[in-house]
Amino acid sequence: MSEGLWLWLTLLAIGSTTIMTRGSFILAGEKGRLPPALQRALRYAPAAALSALVMPDLLLDGGAFDPLNPKLVAGGVVILVALRSRNPWLPFILGMAMLLLLRKGFGW
């Protein structure tokens, strides 16, 4: 088979898989209810996805773990401020200030 045909077959398979998985919830409607335990677990999916994106960048510096990574220290500041403050902007402002201070001020 030619490469163009394989490309179109691959795109067709990916597209149909996407339509089937997403469309199954629409077609099932009210009859297809998720168990309550799974519904509760799915509430944590956005936080888990965000942490999966952010944590490798915080923990690794140049592909290796470095406990003195400025991003890790700034992330720690963000977590501490977020736990103590109800202001949604304060963790971002203080975390970025700490990161800038460590990188520009101390040359980390």
Q: Give yes or no: residues 51 and 14 share one domain.
A: no
Cα 60 to chain center, whole Å? 16
Within this chain, do residues 59 and 11 fall inside the same structural domain, yes or no?
Answer: no
pLDDT tier, 68 (very low <50, low <70, confident <90, very high otherwise) = confident
Give burial (CB, 10 Å; 0-12/13-18/19+) of 29.
exposed
Same domain, 99 and 50: yes
Q: Is the dihedral of CA 94, 99, 104, 105 positive or negative?
A: positive
Residue 75 confidence (pLDDT) above 80: yes
Residue 56 lies in a domain: yes
pTM: 0.60
For the chain, give the mean pLDDT: 89
Say yes or no: 55 and 96 in one domain: yes
Given pLDDT bands bounded at 50, 70 and 90, which one contains residue 12?
very high
The pLDDT tens digits of the residues spanning 17-58 come to 999 888 877 777 777 778 899 999 999 999 999 999 999 989
Same domain, 23 and 47: no
Q: Are residues 66 and 100 in the same domain?
A: yes
Tokens representing 57 are 């960048």
CA-CA distance, 60 to 62, in Å (whole number)? 6
Residue 21's domain comprises 1-33
**Residues in Cβ contact with 15 at an 8 Å cutoff, skipping those fewer than 6 apart:** none
